[in-house]
Amino acid sequence: MDGQVIAVTTNEIPGYDVVAVYGEVFGLMTRSRNLVSNWGAGLKSIVGGEIKAYTKLLTDSRIEATERMKQAAAERGANAILAMRFDTGDIGGTMNEVAAYGTAVKIQPKK
């Protein structure tokens, strides 16, 4: 591994041993669309179909939350995150919150 923190949804990484566990880490991202975007999305919801502005918002939020989680893991000395998950929520009907979380660990190749 080259200084990068790997994040996986599994409880182990084939070919690697966990040599230290640092505990739960998370990254949070909260974003809001502007009033015009919300109005446009409201109109789109009447006729149906994908609301691409919201898809982009959620995709960008997941990426940023994941990067923040990896940074938190690196600050603890971890080089991997096991059992990574996402949680999302709505705040006041106008904002979206994304949390990426998992268990920070140090791994090394099996001998």
CATH of the domain at 21: 3.30.110.70
Is position 18 within any domain? yes
What is the average pLDDT value for the chain, to the nearest integer?
87
Domain count of the fold of the chain: 1
Is position 77 within any domain? yes
Say what the pLDDT of residue 42 is: 56
Is position 26 within any domain? yes
Q: Where are the alpha helices (DSSP H) in the chain?
A: 35-47, 52-75
Of 31 and 49, more confident? 31
The first and second tokens of residue 104, run together, are 């920070």
The first and second tokens of residue 17, run together, are 């041993």
Is position 70 within any domain? yes
Calculated CA dihedral for residues 7, 75, 95, 48, nearest 10 degrees? -20
How close are the terminal C-alpha atoms of the chain, in Å? 15
At 50-100, the pLDDT tens digits run 777 778 888 899 999 999 999 999 999 999 999 999 998 887 777 789 999
Is position 1 within any domain? no
30-49 mean pLDDT:
61
Containing domain of residue 57, as a range? Answer: 6-109
